[in-house]
Structure 1
Amino acid sequence: MSLNEKQVESGDLIPSLDRSTDEVAWDLYRKAIRFGTWDPAAIDLSQDKADFESLDPDLQGYLIHFCTGFLDAEENVALKFCPWIMLGSSTEQQAFLSTQLLEEFKHTEFFMRYFKEVFGKERIPGVKNIVQQKLDDRVKKMLAALEQGPGDREAALVEGLTHYQGIIEGVQAMTGYEVFEAVYGSKGLLPGLAEGFARIKEDEGRHVGFGLRMLKLFARNPVHAKRIRAVYDDYLPYILIRYDQPVVVNGKEYPTPPEVRGRERLTKMFERRLKDIFGKPAAV
């Protein structure tokens, strides 16, 4: 297990505050070059196909639904991430943020391949994820801020970091990894998907760690702290919808496996992220 994976497992995602943000950003950029070069096309999915075909139909249906959520999310972020890079305040920060754009496309490629080679289908209609859908408005606000003064640009970046690194990756994706492990990975199933998640999780450990570090620093400003908390609070009901919705694949509804415990896991991850940023347990 690499250092980044260990940090993700332990929850110790945030790089040291002892160095400047530009130094941290450049270090993460270099790490992305060295460690983020895995190839989605190189992961062996042959056992996954066999495992999938041998699964109980209910677990097959849930897996397709579950992976649809990841494919939709990865692709949506990949297509919309450029404003985060553009709002970076230095070359070092923009360099690191640019690695996230490439990595989101790699994650998208992995899930597109999984649907084709393991499920034998392209994809199913999207899973409801309002936090993702709200990226459309977020992008418009961030692009508009590029034409405004430094204060407006910073405010837009704070909200963008909260929305993407803080919530989409920091809460929703991190919870998803736990769900996969509980339902499938702990049973030794789907080793290709397990490897893909491990690689993606390592990439997103860099993303989330940098984003939380930025938010932790921004939260020292009471105006930004209020803004960060407002985004988290406003989005909490939408976060919880992710695992409350019916599991429907090709018009058929499937039960949610009891190991999922989505609302419980999401709430705990939500509280952890607020503690990361504000340094104390958060009342939800």
Structure 2
Amino acid sequence: MSSHFHQDTTDEFIPSLDKTTDEVAWDLYRKAIRFGNWDPAAIDLSQDKQDFAAFDEDLKGYLIHFCTGFLDAEENVALKFCPWIMLGSSTEQQAFLSTQLLEEFKHTEFFMRYFKEVFGRERISGVQNIVQQKLDERVKKMLAALEQGPEEREAALVEGLTHYQGIIEGVQAMTGYDVYEAVFGSKGLLPGLGEGFARIKEDEGRHVGFGLRMLKLFARNPAHARRIRALYDEYLPHILIRYDQPVVVDGREYPTPPEVRGRERLTKMFERRLRDIFGKPVSV
């Protein structure tokens, strides 16, 4: 598989509104079964080992920091995703959401393997991702809603979809793929990481597409629309921290490659998501 993927294909995955949500969920469930069966252990990392060994210390430090953010995020949600499944309002929706749980563990496995085989070390500590940390509180709210009525359950699901599929996957992760391509993939570097990202992006295209379609429908309710927009606005400063923080590995600070342009990329993706949900240009 080519390691290259481009901005113009990033967002072409929101399912049509012509079918019912249950029909869409079942279609995505079937796609996950047919197309999501890649094996994280089968991706060839031999060239990545050579590329990494040849990097200067600055690029090595940045890559370790960059991949730690992904490993932490994938593992964090894999361990916490069950409430999203449980709040699904039908067998079809729960079936599709259950595929996301497995896929998050596969993504975690890929990055765990990358650290072991390419970096030859453990992940670093101290990479800030406040929106990920807020999942602890989100999970408690979603679990509590399971004991409440339909309106409370729906409100909790709206917030959960906004928080995870809409912001963490839909903005943060999608920006990260573009950063990989700009810094490494476009130069023919780290093809194993590129294949891993391409596979992960295919999975998350289903996750984000379903989440954004749900949010687009929920946003027809003014109360839901206000809460979706409020969460996006509340979390924007927190997701910008992902690229504003210093790159520190083992106590040493490393420069950010000029191609990253993380704040610029992330802000554009943030605005794109608001248009996906609300259907018109939205000022940030």
Coarse TM-score class (shorter-chain normalised): over 0.9
Q: Which residue of 2 aligns with 1:273?
A: 273
**Which amino acid in structure 1 is aligned with residue 243 of structure 2?**
Y
Alignment gaps of 5+ in structure 1: none
Q: Number of paired residues?
A: 282
Query: For 2:81 and 2:120, how far apart are their aligned partners in 1?
Result: 29
Stretches of structure 2 that go unaligned for 5 or more consecutive residues are none
Letter in 1 for 2:142: M
* Residue of structure 1 equivalent to 2:47: 47
CA distance in 1, matches of 2:8, 2:183: 19
Distance in 2 separating the partners of 1:246 and 1:202: 30
The 1:78–1:121 alpha-carbon spacing in structure 2 relative to 1, beyond 3 Å, is same
Q: Tell me if structure 1 keeps the 8 A contact 2:6–2:178.
A: no
For 1:223 and 1:87, the matched residues in 2 are separated by: 19
Q: Say if 2:7 and 2:178, in contact at 8 Å, map to a contact too.
A: no
| TM-superposition CA deviations, 1:204-259 (whole Å, max 9, x none) | 00000000000000000001000100100000110100000000001110000110
**Quick check: 2:179–2:260 contact (8 Å CA) kept in 1?**
yes
Q: Partners of 1:196 and 1:268 in 2: how far apart?
A: 24
Matched with 2:12 is 12
Deviations along 1:75-122, one digit per CA (max 9) or x if unpaired, are: 000000000000000000000000000000000000000000000002
Q: CA deviation at 1:123?
A: 1.4
Report deviation, 1:10.
4.8
Specify whether residues 7 and 47 from structure 1 end up closer, same or farther in structure 2 by C-alpha distance, changes over 3 A only.
closer
1:1-284 equivalence runs, <5 A: 9-284=9-284
Q: What is the alpha-carbon distance in structure 2 between the residues aligned to residue 147 and residue 6 of structure 1?
A: 43
| SS of structure 1 residue aligned to 2:19 | coil
Contact 1:83 1:139 in 2 (8 A): yes
Cα pair 1:68 1:126 within 8 Å, conserved = no
The one-letter code sitting in structure 1 at the alignment partner of 2:269 is M
Give the TM-score normalised by structure 1: 0.97
TM-score in terms of structure 2 length: 0.97
SS at match of 1:176: helix
RMSD value, Cα: 1.4
SS at match of 1:80: coil
Per the TM alignment, residue 126 of structure 1 is displaced from its structure 2 partner at its CA by 3.9
Aligned equivalents of 2:84, 2:220: Cα separation in 1: 21
